[in-house]
Chain A
Amino acid sequence: MPQNPYIHKGLADRLPKWLVPNLSAIHLVAVFIALLLIGLLLVPVAQVMIVAFQDASTGAATLQNFVDFFQTSLFRESFWNSFYVSAMSVVVATAIALPLAYITTRFHFSGSILIQSLGFIPLIMPPFVGAVAMQLIFGRNGTINLIIREKFGFDIPFMNGLNGVILVQSIHYFPFILINLSASLRNIDRSMEEAAQNLGSHGLRLFRRIVFPLAMPGYIAGAALVFIKVFDDLGTPLLLNVNNMLAPQAFLRISSIGISDPMGYVISVILVIFSILSLWASFLFMRGKDYTTVQKGGGGMAKRILKTREKFLSYGVVIFILLLVLSPHIGLLLLSFGTIWSYAPLPDGYTLQNYVTMWENSKTFITNTILYASIAATLDVIVGTAIAYIVLRTGIFGRKGLDYLATAALAIPGVVLGIGYLRTFHNLDVPFTNEPMASWWVIIALALMIRRLPYALRACTAALQQVSISLEEAAESLGATKRRTIQKIVIPLMAGGILAGFVTSFATAAVELSATIMLVSSNNDAPLAYGIYLFMQTPSGRGAGAALGIVAVIVVAIGTIASQVIIERNKKLKSSGDSH
């Protein structure tokens, strides 16, 4: 039979049958990704978990380390403190987010743009950078307290001990709750509220019995996310000198006592288990409770017009929160332009010198950051797209497992990943050289990649879901192989989502600290975040460190805005076409 000249032979067809029996290229890709994830995520984390269950000297299996952990009051305290700080951060973040969500969804509020930007500003300041600035403004002898003490004779312990961590984290993470809460409030159909009013309910009673329960699932989703992120965060407590929490304890034990210290591993296990438990609990709570009730043609809840008194109150609340949210940014800006800032509400004088110093000394940091973040983001979108395609378009065995594995990286704290990498790659050498792999800069990029993969995967999955499968089927019926279809049809159509995913990955990888701080062994390999950390370790470096912090903020801001713009533009293009 003559070959149809218009049908291309795929890669798998050209290889000898015995080498690739019935496995298509996609199978190979899936296997490769599985190996990648196993090697870069599962193995290091498993190593960490295993060491925690081993006797430090004999290697025999034991629970002794855990017993030691819970018998040591310092660790019990750290555990409790981590839990307390996370829970209180959720509470304070809710206190900030709730009035804002309420105002935007219940009233015609002309300052809505203001509130939307409030949901964005905190996220562009990496929390550990904000911590330094907050210390200057809210610290024991910071701006606010100096002024209050002079005028009123007392001070407010904003930043003392755990309070400082709670304050910094709440201000940084409340947007998660704001966004989720607003969305779920907006998803409540107007008739839900009107039906209750019709039957005699109104005001707080109505809110309590109808509105809030319906908004709960969305709220819980946001709250759980905040809880986990605060629980796992290393940078903020470290820079605030709060050491009696789990994440800093793990870091300190490993970095000062060494990677043979079992306690660092025990803490890692507890961090991971707790993260997974929190995620699981929030899923459990949300199961069967998707309360999205908006009917077609229905709107969210009715919006009232504000009375004058209420208008004042609303604007007051919003501006107060805005100032609070901007305080780290303002503090950082002042520090970056300041000469000396010591025991005074404001710097003594202003200069551009810090930026000059920063620029002269940070070229390596910046180039490293661009290198690592690019590698991480590129690998993220490639792997993310591949996994998304495998999960959504094929029936390959274990594809769900691949999805879960990639997403599981969410539950792994950066410090644990760092410890795992040190341990796993400790005895390996980089191929072709004599260097220990653990101090090779590439593993920093790989750690960043793994940490950002869940987000990239989500972006790629969303992008692929918008591409109707019939578009692929049309191409294949015209003779294109899977590979060409993916190359020529699927990926170009996903381009917007992929790009957005890349940009977000890049921007957040650029300022990651928790895993980085564990893995950087030489200053030459240090990225931005570590560079800021280093600058902050010298008397003359604070101003330059702040200047570098501003650079970091700008990088993240540009990344976030760019990704939003790309997504919006993509939406406009798509809305004219057909989605599945």
Chain B
Amino acid sequence: MNGISIFVQQLINGLSLGSIYALIALGYTMVYGIVKLINFAHGDVMMVGAYAGYFVLCAVGTTPFGMTLAFLAAMVMCGLLSLVIERLAYRPLRNAPRLNSLITAIAVELILQNVMRVLPFVGPDPRQFPTMPTKMLSIGIVSFSNIQLIVIVLSAVLMVVLNYIVNYTKTGKAMRAVSYDLGAASLMGISVNRIIAITFVIGSVLAGAGGVLYATAYPQIDPVMGYIPGLKAFVAAVLGGIGSIPGAMMGGVILGIAETMTKAYVSSQYADAISYMILIVILLVKPTGILGKKTHVKV
């Protein structure tokens, strides 16, 4: 294997990781775009998705049917979970100072992590996620595993579906309206509560899928597994432009590739720290992110 093929290999690894980051980043960016809240609990919703997939796969096995079921279970579970969270913890605080909502989001994150730790059938110890047998496929100088293929393709499919929903459906139009001006949207007859709930659900469904994909690629799961990918996904969302859906997709992929390249060519231990440094650099250079727009404050 020569240098080029290693490079391309790492690129594919990065694309695969980045797709997962993108899926999670989408949830952050959509929620921030619509209610200006950094949903700290989002990474842990992804963790719940991974566990949901885990239990299904343990019961049914890693057949294609089992995997499909696992994804569905994760997505449904996460969707319902976020409905509950939004209704109980976030909606009452919608008009409160932002600080309060942020603190509540942090509290929700900690509750999710620690509930999973104390639940008897879960527990704090890491578990091995059932994986399908790995098959390597080669095209020319490039080889990738079937798992990576699934990750990339499935993420792409989900993002296409999301894009369709946001840009070509009435609900998507309502979501965009609410993200521009909540007050005006509600005056136009849009049920703001419903739209916000839908936004949370869509984001969490994607995170659920992302959780199963992440566990498939990195098969060890534990209750705190969502924290670091969640943080990185947020960096990705900021990188792409927080509030921008294409931005989150782009940011996720860029971050995934950057992290993989750093691990391969620079330093494996500091790769995480470097990802976070990217955040600080972006804020210095272009705080609105790659695809973000500057908004004017009216005085």
Tell me whether A and B are bound partners.
no
